[in-house]
Amino acid sequence: MARPTLKIAVAGTKSKASDYNENFETLMDYFETTIDDAIGTYIQVNTLASSGTVSLNDNSINKISVTGAVTFSLPSIGSGDTDFHQILVQMYMPTVVSLNLGTSYFFNGVSPDMSWEGHYNIVFEYDNTDSHWYCAAIHKGYIS
């Protein structure tokens, strides 16, 4: 939202109360809109299906409680795209199941070891230099 224009008081002249009230209302509208815009930038945490093929949305934060085999489907990014793309999945896996992370490109060049039950953070990041989604996973431990 553009910065509001206010009626400026001039020294040596009488200003009307209506001018002050209008300035006040204009500022209040500006602050409320600015605050609403700032709060709106927080990202909602999406709840994903617990098994099957799970489509992930670009630039999203997700949670999943796995009950069966999961295959993540990553979004397509257009060629020449220069935006930053990242996806976070907070996962709880009470028993080890088959996971397909949807990419064969991994941080440090190594597929993450997800052979333990428990909680994980899975990070997907699109690399604009080679046009691939990369993945890493962090095991946070088993917390029931």
Tell me the per-residue pLDDT of 91-144, one tens digit each, with 9 for 90 and over.
999 999 999 999 999 999 999 999 999 999 999 999 999 999 999 999 998 876
Q: In whole angstroms, give the CA distance from residue 34 to residue 46.
A: 25
SS (H, E, C) 42-81: CCCEEECCCCEEEECCCCEEEEEECCCCEEEECCCCCCCC
> Is the separation of the CB atoms in 114 and 68 below 8 Å?
no
Measured at the CA of 116, the angle between CA 126 and CA 50, to 5 degrees, comes to 65
Residue 127 host element (H or E):
strand 118-127
Cβ contacts of 58 within 8 Å, gap of 6 or more: 75, 77, 85, 87, 126
Written as one letter, the residue type at 74 is L
Identity (one letter) of the amino acid at 3?
R
Express each pLDDT in 7-45 by its tens digit.
Answer: 777 777 777 777 777 877 877 878 777 776 666 667 789
Contact 56, 85 (CB under 8 A): no
- Domain range list for the chain: 45-141
pTM listed for this prediction: 0.72
pLDDT of residue 116: 95
